[in-house]
Amino acid sequence: MQDSASAGSQHLGWKAPLVNAARFWEPRRLIYNALLVAATVGWVVFTWPLFRPGLTWSSLLPMTGLALVANLCYCAAYLVDIPLQLSSFSDAWKRHRWMLFMAGTIFALVLASYWINDEIAADFIR
């Protein structure tokens, strides 16, 4: 009986940090996605003649795939957040995890801009 009680307490040990992480990260996912969409739309609008031939119905599937990859990368924050919540640094981490959000979002914007510039636009220039 002792084993099932300790298993239950271990389950509760992960539940609170997981819920806390979701409450912090999921509302910010909307901001993250909105910024990536804004950056992508900005590139397309400001370089419209270049991208016009590439915006077809057949490009919708690859763009959707890239959006899914961006959101999968966003989930990496949980791999950092949950262990830090379970550590002795929990209180400090909860006060400063917004910096991980900012760094990750900036990295995603730089990566998206690079991808658009170097990988996608290069196909239309040739």
Residue whose structure tokens are 């992480």: 21
- Domain of 112, in residue numbers: 2-125
- Say if CB 108 and CB 73 are below 8 A apart: yes
Q: Mean pLDDT over residues 37-64, rounded?
A: 87
Six token digits for residue 77: 């924050």
Q: What is the per-residue burial (b if ≥16 Cβ within 10 Å, else e) of 30-55? A: eebeeebeebbeebbeeeeeebeeee
Confidence of residue 9 (pLDDT cuts 50, 70, 90): very low
Note the pLDDT tens digit of each residue in 51-107: 888 788 888 898 899 999 999 999 999 999 999 999 999 999 999 999 999 999 999
Distance (Å, rounded) from C-alpha 124 to C-alpha 126? 6
Count of structural domains within the chain = 1
- For 78, residues 6+ apart whose C-beta sits below 8 A from its C-beta are 21, 25
